[in-house]
Structure 1
Amino acid sequence: MTHSHSSLSLSDLTFTWPDGEPVFSGLSFVFPSGRIGLVGLNGSGKSTLLRLIAGRLTPDAGSVHASGEIGYLRQDITLDPNVRVDDILDIGDLRIALHRIESGEGTEKDFAVAEGNWDIEERAISTLHRLGLERVLPDIEALGRTVGTLSGGETVLLGLTATLLKNPQVLLLDEPTNNLDRMARARVHAAVQQFPGTVVVVSHDRELLNSMESTVELRRGNLRTFGGNYSLYQEATTAEQENALAAVRDAKTDLAKQNRELIEARTKLERRKRYGQKIQDERRLPPILAQTRKRKAEVSAGKLSVNHIGKVDDAKSALADAEKMLRDDREIRLDLPDTQVHPGQQVVTLEDVVLRSGQIVSLHVTGPERIAIVGPNGIGKTTLLDALVEKKPFVPCRALRQRLDVFDENLSVADNVALAAPHATSEEIRGQLARFLFRGTDSDVTASALSGGERLRAALATILLAQPAPKLLILDEPTNNLDLPSLAHLTQALHDFRGALVVVSHDLPFLREINITRWIRMDENGIQEIDPEWQ
């Protein structure tokens, strides 16, 4: 599709967190037009960059230039369940003004607020329905509901609606397909494809990233454009890495060769020196001639030494340059507790329990079962997991909640982990956090300052260090916000876990790779077992 002219650029952008940690220093960059995937490792600063572009953070220096209005979908849109739908849509005050005008009590200020937005409620409902929320938000009255009555996926769609209602020319989307079922993902993909301006997307949704026209990588505080989608970006970086590894190997070989030649040269010089001294000692040469030869030998030795040392220094420099091109990327390291649940052992039982979502369900988890719960957004999957936790399982249990609201927001990451693991030493806690990329002072950051990806890593660190070690893991959308290398580590760790597992996820490849043994589908009538080969 053709894009209307839309530009986005950064000029000498500098930003440092209040604790002194630098994120960007003098960053200048012009984004391509069209659909752009912004990629980079967890913690590289992708969400921070979007917040700076959107004006939610103020840079220390430099500026952002955008043609037209910027729309921004936050990654943590689902955190506060008490916010009203119309406030998320940023039309709460506008609706109040419209209703006062309709009742004949409108003031001059109300008319000024409503100017040009008389149909905002109808437009909001139309956009919500286009994104698939007609069941939960069927009419204008529903705009007064709170976000807590919606599922995580529905809240993401609500946030996207809020962003699109502003008619922006530049659209910034931070993990827009989190918690979404396949139908909802398809609607988001379509909305992104149809957007006429510039879209910058941060996501771990490979399908969405592969629909982008260009890919921009954020790495070590710098941005770099790759033509094409995520798969082409991967091919390019893999080829670069192979070339860099070859260059490092060649540089190491050359350095070893230069060192060897330097040693050989020094050995020859030492022999010559000893031989000259021996001749002098035996007085075979007149003193004047011996002295002349000694001076010549020293000059020759000096030249030879400088020449070889120079070559060694050049080889060291070439190796350092080659190593800079290597991607020594940080990835999380996961060791799940070495707990075990025996076949036939009772883990947790629900018997004709009435869920908050209305269904009556019975579910028995026995032995080291690995259960996947699937179903459309808003059907009650999270509610079912909450019921399992509240039922007090027969084995130690830990849950990863979808909203990641498990922290004391005023405490540091390390202090939050310490609450879950009171018997762990400070060294054990910080060692565990380091495996989740919270190194040094990173673990002293307060929970309220964490990005979505950081919250997920902190939550995983907390439940995996918890005491007693969990034999049942209940995970609600555990792959959200994880970069692809970290996702691979989580997948492998859960694959090897010998305890029981109950997982809600819309990521079917992930579920298949962790060896699910029972598949359960949830709908309005409750739950039922389904064939493992379902699509």
Structure 2
Amino acid sequence: MPHSATPGAAVTCSALSFRWPDGTTVFDSLSFTAPRGRIGLVGGNGAGKSTLLRLLAGALRPAEGSVTVGGNLAHLPQDLTLDTGLRVEEALGIADRRAALRAVESGDVREEHFETIGEDWDVEERALATLGSLGLGGLGLDRTVGEMSGGETVLLRLAALLLERPDVLLLDEPTNNLDLFARRRLYEAVDSWRSGVLIVVSHDRELLERVDRIAELRAGAVSWYGGGWSAYQEALAAQQEAAGRTLRAAEADVRRQRRELEEAQVKVARRQRHSRKMDAQRRAPRIVAGERKRSAQESGDKLRGLQEDRLQQARERREEAAEAIRADAEIRVGLPHTAVPAGRGVLSLSGLRPRFGKLREGDLEVRGPERIALVGRNGAGKTTLLRTLTGELEPLAGEARAFVPLRFLPQRLDVLDEELSVAANVARSAPGVSENEIRAQLARFLFRGARAEQPAGTLSGGERFRAALAATMLAAPAPQLLMLDEPTNNLDLASVRQLTSALDSYEGALLIAGHDLSFLADVGVTRWLVLGETIEETSAEEVREVLEAAEGS
């Protein structure tokens, strides 16, 4: 909810350094100022985005440097836990003021009640209005947290922070695990922010389009870009094009300086041979010949030294130019055996009723290489339906039949054996495929050489995702139906791009349960299904309206 922020509200980091207890350095003398407005903080996994927010919030202490916050600050962390026994009013932090208001209204005029209330006589009305703005108007202040969904608890915590009227608000991956309804409410809250500094860490492109500027955290420094996600991408593309030109020019300069050094060495050698020959012909005194030799040597050394310095400077310019080129590699893999002919039956659901969720009677026919998005509210049963289709869960009624080999990539990425290497995990899902072929394919998933021998349990988040994706897509027999459950949750933007490029190579049928509409559009979804008591077909244009109608019903 908007309010008047502290004049000059901003966040400043001065020479900020932070190291983990094991000595790992995250920041070394980081300095920047975050001005008023909505800021999207982006960067790869491991760049330190969440760590930076915790430093700004005071949850971590820097080793050196300082953080200055203009006004009061509120922080919504990524891993949010709320006591399920709390009442909504307690989670909002207004229980004491409500109690004091009731006491005063009943005639109890003790001073302590007025001190508790302060100027906040309308706290209950403000709380209900804030809840309503986030789509939680039907909750009531006396409900318990245990009666709420995971997405509702995130929005409830956000409501509590907004009630504090912060000058600085920090949000860490706020749309993770939110369904489309909850995401829309959060988008609206960000759109209406006028109170000071809002910094949001997110890989949700639709959310990042709503910010005023992007702050990119890369290699321990912050770079600023005006506008939202699309403007940032355009600026980055222009930057990379210029960096490419600079690198090509620097490489050409290195080649030129190398040639000139070689020519200088030839020239010096020729001069020295000529000098020796002339001295021999003239029979010059030894002392004179020696002086001429020393002079020629010094002249030659000076020329070589000059050219070597120029070559070294050219190499340094080349290295500096190369550092500006981003190596966000994409996955490009050929999967011809996944192809499904148009019209071929892939999957059939008849009167299906899974054990959990809202679906009472599901009917569906999937044919050919269709790309299907499965959307719906949290709790509708999307994950349960996918696990029923794999045969992991038995339905209560009806049947599901797959007519082609299928594979399922779950949210938790628990398809990997932590003790086995990446290559061994893929070999386990592709028996009979040669080690050379597995390694050749893994290289295309960016696991080259020794990286393919890393145990799965030692992988970073992005590496773990790529390994699980490789084990799923490279399985034998080749999957002609690939089912993904919320695949972009907890992925950084580079990993989302890698997933998108991998799916571009996939020629089978896709069934994706998700809330990330930008990603679903990027992978070329051809059918949109809304899961409720039945499976209803809609379109990309109508999916929001259909979900809104379902929400209001």
TM range (shorter): 0.7 to 0.9
1:111 and 1:422 map into 2 onto residues whose CA distance is: 69
Q: 1-side partners of 2:424 and 2:162: how far apart? A: 41
Map 1:500-519 to 2 at 5 A. 500-519=509-528
Matched, 1:530 2:524: no
Q: Which moved more, 1:264-273 or 1:243-252?
A: 243-252
AA aligned to 1:145 is: G
Q: What's the counterpart of residue 546 of structure 2?
A: none
Could you say if the C-alpha distance between residues 420 and 396 of structure 1 is closer, same or farther in structure 2, counting changes exceeding 3 Å? farther
SS in 1 for 2:361: strand
- Name the counterpart of 2:55: 52
Q: Deviations over 1:308-343 (max 9, x none)?
A: 22322332233333334x133445647597763755
Q: For residues 336 and 463 of structure 1, what CA distance do their matches in structure 2 show?
A: 14
CA distance in 1, matches of 2:511, 2:97: 47
Say yes or no: does 1:67 pair with 2:66. Answer: no
Matched, 1:480 2:489: yes
1:131-150 map, 5 Å:
131-134=134-137, 137-147=138-148, 150=149
Measure, in 2, the Cα distance between the counterparts of 1:63 and 1:246.
Answer: 39
Contact 1:414/1:433 (8 A) holds in 2: no
Q: Partners in 2 of 1:163 and 1:317 — Cα distance?
A: 49
> Residue type of the partner of 1:69?
N
Distance across 2 between alignment mates of 1:432 and 1:158? 45
Q: Distance in 1 between matches of 2:99 and 2:257?
A: 83
Which residue of the partner structure matches residue 15 of structure 1? 18
Match of 1:464 in 2: 470
- 2:260 aligns with 261
Residue aligned with 1:68, SS:
coil
Q: Is the 8 A contact 1:44 1:218 kept in 2?
A: yes
Percent of aligned pairs with the same amino acid: 38
The answer to whether the 8 A contact 1:350-1:391 is kept is: no
TM-score (norm 2): 0.75
Alignment-mate amino acid for residue 461 of structure 1: A
Deviation at 1:171, TM superposition (A): 0.5
Q: Distance in 1 between matches of 2:273 and 2:325?
A: 49
**CA offset at residue 72 of structure 1?**
1.7
- After superposition, the Cα gap between the structure-2 partners of 1:164 and 1:317, relative to the gap in structure 1 and judged at 3 Å, is same
Q: Which moved more, 1:271-280 or 1:246-255?
A: 271-280
Q: CA deviation at 1:73?
A: 2.0
Q: In 2, are the aligned partners of 1:97 and 1:114 still within 8 Å (CA)?
A: yes
Shift of residue 201, structure 1, vs aligned partner: 1.5
Q: Indicate if the aligned counterparts of 1:85 and 1:146 stay in contact, CA closer than 8 A.
A: no
Given candidates 23, 31, 36, the residue that maps to 2:34 is 31
Unaligned runs of 5+ in 2: 395-400, 430-434, 544-553
Q: Hey, what does 1:222 align to over in structure 2?
A: 221
Instruction: Provide Cα deviations, 1:337-385, integer angstroms capped at 9, x if missing partner.
Output: 7763755465574633155333313244566543211345554444433
**Which residue is equivalent to 1:397?**
407
User: Which residue number corresponds to residue 187 of structure 1?
Assistant: 185
2:168 — aligned with what?
A: 170
Go from structure 1 to structure 2 and tell me whether the alpha carbon gap of 1:386 and 1:89 turns closer, same or farther (over 3 Å shift).
farther
- Residues 306/145 of structure 1: CA separation in 2 closer, same or farther (3 Å cut): closer
Which residue identity does 2:534 align to in structure 1? G
Q: Distance in 1 between matches of 2:447 and 2:300?
A: 54
Look up the match of 1:358. 358
Identify the range of structure 1 (233-242 vs 259-268) with the bigger mean alpha-carbon deviation.
Answer: 233-242
Deviations along 1:194-247, one digit per CA (max 9) or x if unpaired, are: 331210122233343333233322111112333444444444433333333322
The answer on whether the counterparts of 1:34 and 1:213 sit within 8 Å (CA) in structure 2 is yes
* Matching of residue 493 in structure 1 with residue 502 in structure 2: yes
- Tell me the distance in 1 between the aligned counterparts of 2:422 and 2:261: 54
Secondary structure, counterpart of 1:360 in structure 2: coil
Contact 2:180 2:376 in 1 (8 A): no
Structure 1 distance, partners of 2:50, 2:359, is: 38
Task: Give the secondary structure class of the aligned counterpart of 1:142.
Answer: coil
**Residues 55 and 243 from structure 1, CA distance in 2 versus in 1: closer, same or farther, beyond 3 angstroms?**
same
The one-letter code matched in structure 2 to 1:465 is A
Residues 37 and 216 in structure 1, CA contact (< 8 A), matched pair in contact too: yes
- Give the Cα separation in 2 of the matches to 1:194 and 1:52: 26
Matches within 5 A, 1:367-386: 368-376=369-377, 379-386=380-387
- Alpha-carbon distance between aligned partners in 2 of 1:245 and 1:307, rounded to the nearest angstrom: 28
- The verdict on how the C-alpha distance between 1:271 and 1:204 changes in structure 2, with shifts beyond 3 A counting, is same
Q: For residues 15 and 331 of structure 2, what CA distance do their matches in structure 1 show?
A: 35
| AA at the equivalent of 2:51 | T
Aligned partner of residue 338 in structure 2, secondary structure = coil
**Structure 1 240/123 Cα, relative in aligned 2: closer, same or farther at 3 Å?**
same
Measured in 1, the distance between the counterparts of 2:386 and 2:407 equals 12
**SS state at 1:458 partner:** helix
Q: 1:314 to 1:486 in 2, by over 3 A?
A: same
**Matched ranges for 1:408-427 at <5 A:** 423=428
Does the 8 Å CA contact 1:456/1:481 hold for their aligned counterparts?
Answer: no
| SS of corresponding position for 1:502 | strand
Please name the residue that 1:248 is paired with: 247
Cα contact 1:156–1:178 (8 A) shared by 2:
no
Residue 115 of structure 1 and its aligned partner are, at CA, apart by 5.8
Helix, strand or coil at the partner of 2:144: helix
Tell me which residue corresponds to 2:304.
305
Q: Distance in 2 between matches of 1:462 and 1:76?
A: 23
Counterpart of 1:385 in structure 2: which amino acid? L
Indicate the residue corresponding to 1:296 in structure 2.
295
Letter in 2 for 1:529: E
> Does the 8 Å contact 1:348/1:391 carry over to 2?
no
SS of 2:13's partner is strand
Matches within 5 A, 1:422-433: 423=428
Report the CA distance shift for 1:21/1:146 in structure 2 as closer, same or farther (over 3 A). farther
Confirm or deny that 1:388 pairs with 2:369.
no
The CA deviation at 1:468 is: 5.1
- Cα distance change on mapping 1:52 and 1:334 into 2, 3 Å: farther
Amino acid at match of 1:358: K
Does structure 1 retain, via aligned residues, the 8 Å contact 2:456–2:464?
no
CA distance in 1, matches of 2:207, 2:51: 21
SS at match of 1:480: coil
- Computed over aligned residues only, the root mean square deviation of the Cα atoms, in angstroms, reads 4.6
Measured against aligned partners, the alpha-carbon deviations of 1:108-167 in whole angstroms (never above 9, x if no partner) come to: 9x9899766898676544423211234xx53334334345xx2x5444433422332333
Q: One-letter code of the match for 2:538?
A: I
| Letter paired with 2:537 | E
SS class of match (1:140): coil
Contact residue 462 and residue 492 of structure 2 kept, 8 A: no
